């Protein structure tokens, strides 16, 4: 049941995501969901991020703390190791100060919902006597694989070609997260994601941004997703709006105006999220592949990637396509003109596409995306996956083929039908009395 705001006895929850777009988005939306259930919610983020934010946050208040890189955030740190070390040293101090500051206010913090990849936040919360809830921003399947890796249950080097893990379908080696099969590729990030289990037994709650019908009983935690705002799923609810925390400037008007001129299901939306980078050769193949598919396309090429797009190619493709540096993705996916999503399969993009019934062309790049792509194609049957050549490049012909398959061909019909089914199931999970809604109610009830 949605509750009225304004009750001075409301329990206060502090939500603390890792400071990147793909972690802030789901945790902010979850915060809004908690606020709509009557809790007072504050989102803590770094000074750099809070200075970069492009929108209001509605029912959720934002407080900033220092991570030691107030002037440039993660990118200014020089290396991920340098960032993580300083983030922990400074951040654990400034987070504690923020909690202490609230202690003397009318609304002391009762619970910290922390991003599972910041385990030191849980240590702080426990020392300060708070309830600690770990929020996992990636799929349950990926969390389970990392759990096995943390406990040394995945022997390396991996013995292929397939690997069987309890509770999971048979996976090819390259369906595992890239850090697991390409051992040594990003050792710091890999050890960082494994650390999320270092003190997990101290957490009072384990919350997963997924829903039961999508990932059945994979983990003894609570599913609370998808965190897609309800207005995109079925109705507007109190305290739940479309405000996001974009760290990039979305070309909203240009995108929506352009989409409004296109027929239903005629546009391919293309995006690789907020972090992944493509090589120049891949970028060129993609541009020609999009053009060759002969569909309209809306392509997000972040400003930092634009220099890889040869000018003549950008002009060449412009007649059928719109290229923007960032867009309001949920609004785009919900638009009737969008017929398919060519995606890197970041977990948020994957969940958003499933929740809005948009079929996918999966083009995973690294980290959890390879596993998400496997599930999209073989388990949820809501998309196709591109094949890479021996140089690791997806060629233009392959791109054309996959887009046509989803947008036009007979096989695409089933994929489109399945995507619509996931949309219904996602709605069902977050609707009143649905599995995720009940879990959120239980979490809220435990705090009042």
**What amino acid positions are annotated as catalytic residues?**
23, 115
Report, in Å, the least distance between residue 27 CB and ligand UDX.
11
Mark residues 257-276: x for contact with ligand UDX by CB under 6 A, - for none.
--------------x-xxxx
**Binding piece for ligand UDX, criterion CB under 6 A, among 44-52, 164-172, 234-242, 341-349:** 341-349
Residue 84 or 99 with smaller CB distance to ligand UDX: 84
Report, in Å, the least distance between residue 286 CB and ligand UDX.
16
Report, in Å, the least distance between residue 49 CB and ligand UDX.
14
In the list 42, 45, 223, 329, the residue contacting ligand UDX (rule: CB under 6 A) is 329
Exposed, middle or buried by CB within 10 Å (0-12, 13-18, 19+), for 275? middle
Helices (H), 341-434: 347-355, 369-374, 396-407, 410-430
Mark residues 274-313: x for contact with ligand UDX by CB under 6 A, - for none.
xxx-----------------------x-------------
Report, in Å, the least distance between residue 247 CB and ligand UDX.
9
Closest CA to 225 of 418, 445, 440, 43: 440
Interface with ligand UDX includes 138 (CB under 6 A)? yes
R_g (Cα) of the chain, nearest Å: 21
Report, in Å, the least distance between residue 75 CB and ligand UDX.
14
Sign of CA dihedral 408, 411, 414, 415: negative
Cα(445)–Cα(448) distance, rounded to whole angstroms? 6
Closest CA to 265 of 408, 422, 384: 408
385 bridge partner residues? 362
Interface with ligand UDX includes 25 (CB under 6 A)? yes
Cα(256)–Cα(409) distance, rounded to whole angstroms? 27
SS3 155: coil
Residue 116 or 367 with smaller CB distance to ligand UDX: 367
SS3 360: strand
Interface with ligand UDX includes 348 (CB under 6 A)? yes
Restricting to residues 84-103, name those near ligand UDX by CB under 6 A.
Answer: none
**Binding piece for ligand UDX, criterion CB under 6 A, among 2-10, 65-73, 179-187, 347-355:** 347-355
As given in the structure block, the two tokens for residue 125 are 């919360």
Interface with ligand UDX includes 327 (CB under 6 A)? yes
* Binding residues for ligand UDX, total number by CB under 6 A: 25
SS3 254: helix
**Which residues touch 353 (CB under 8 Å, ≥6 apart)?**
333, 341, 343, 359, 360, 382, 383, 419
Helices (H), 171-247: 178-181, 187-194, 230-233
Biggest CA–CA distance in the chain, Å, is: 63
Restricting to residues 192-231, name those near ligand UDX by CB under 6 A.
Answer: none
Restricting to residues 368-427, name those near ligand UDX by CB under 6 A.
Answer: 368-369
- Site of interaction with ligand UDX (CB under 6 A): 21-23, 25, 137-138, 246, 271, 273-276, 300, 326-327, 329-330, 346-349, 352, 367-369
């Amino acid at each position: 049941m949605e509750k009225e705001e304004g009750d001075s006895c409301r329990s206060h929850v502090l939500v603390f995501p890792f400071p990147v777009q793909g972690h802030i988005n789901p945790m902010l939306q979850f915060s809004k969901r908690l606020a709509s259930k009557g809790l007072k919610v504050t989102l803590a983020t770094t000074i750099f991020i809070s200075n970069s934010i492009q929108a209001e946050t509605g029912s959720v208040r934002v407080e900033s703390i220092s991570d030691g890189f107030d002037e440039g955030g993660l990118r200014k740190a020089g290396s991920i190791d340098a960032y993580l070390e300083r983030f922990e040293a400074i951040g654990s101090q400034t987070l504690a100060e923020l909690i202490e500051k609230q202690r003397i206010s009318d609304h002391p913090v009762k619970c910290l919902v922390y991003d599972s990849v910041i385990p030191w936040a849980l240590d702080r919360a426990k020392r300060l006597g708070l309830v600690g809830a770990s929020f996992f921003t990636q799929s349950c399947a990926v969390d389970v694989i990392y759990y096995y890796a943390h406990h040394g249950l995945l022997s390396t080097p991996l013995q292929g070609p397939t690997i069987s893990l309890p509770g999971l379908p048979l996976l090819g080696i390259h369906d595992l997260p890239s850090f697991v099969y390409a051992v040594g590729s990003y050792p710091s990030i890999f050890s960082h994601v494994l650390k999320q289990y270092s003190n997990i037994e101290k957490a009072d709650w384990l919350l997963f941004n997924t829903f039961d019908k999508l990932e059945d009983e994979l983990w003894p935690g609570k599913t609370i997703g998808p965190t897609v705002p309800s207005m995109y799923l079925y109705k507007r609810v109190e305290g739940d709006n479309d405000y996001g925390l974009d760290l990039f400037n979305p070309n909203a008007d240009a995108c929506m105006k352009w989409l409004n001129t296109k027929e239903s299901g005629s546009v391919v939306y293309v995006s690789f999220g907020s972090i992944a980078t493509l090589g120049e050769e891949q970028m060129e193949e993609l541009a020609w592949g999009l053009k060759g598919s002969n569909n309209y396309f809306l392509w997000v090429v972040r400003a930092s990637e634009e220099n890889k797009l040869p000018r003549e190619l950008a002009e060449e493709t412009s007649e059928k396509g719109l290229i923007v540096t960032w867009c309001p993705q949920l609004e785009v996916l919900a638009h009737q003109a969008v017929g398919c999503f060519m995606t890197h399969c970041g977990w948020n993009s994957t969940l958003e596409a499933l929740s809005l019934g948009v079929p996918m062309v999966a083009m995973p790049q690294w980290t959890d995306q390879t596993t998400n792509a496997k599930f999209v194609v073989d388990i949820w049957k809501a998309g196709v996956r591109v094949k890479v050549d021996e140089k690791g490049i997806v060629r233009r012909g392959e791109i054309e083929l996959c887009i046509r398959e989803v947008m036009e061909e007979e096989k695409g019909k089933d994929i489109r039908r399945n995507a619509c089914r996931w949309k219904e199931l996602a709605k069902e999970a977050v609707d009143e009395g649905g599995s995720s809604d009940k879990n959120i109610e239980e979490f809220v009830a435990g705090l009042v």
